[in-house]
Amino acid sequence: MHYDAYIVRDENICGGEPVVKGTRVTVRTILSSLAEGASIQEILDDFPTLTEQAVRAVIAFAATSAEEDLPLPSIPHIA
């Protein structure tokens, strides 16, 4: 999924934290809700300005960010 169409960062909105485009709902808020066990439907109920695609874009954004932060596996030593 291409999350670029759903997530923006603007220093004038929520202090520059990534948010869902057209809202003030931060990526961090959505991820925290998911981590606490909320379903996508519960998040949509709590934040009616969101769409299911936007929540899925946040998940894709987090997955990509986590992948970029993972350390490279060490190269095996060959004797």
pLDDT in tens, 22-73: 999 999 999 999 999 999 999 999 999 999 999 999 999 999 887 765 566 6
Q: How far apart are CA 18 and CA 43, in angstroms?
A: 17
Answering whether pTM is above 0.85, one says: no
The domain defined by 3-67 carries CATH number 3.30.70.920 = no
Q: What are phi and psi of 3, to 5 degrees?
A: -85, -10
Strand partners, 20: 7
First vs last C-alpha separation in the chain: 43
Is residue 2 very low, low, confident or very high in pLDDT (cuts 50, 70, 90)? confident
The pLDDT, as a whole number, for residue 43 is: 98
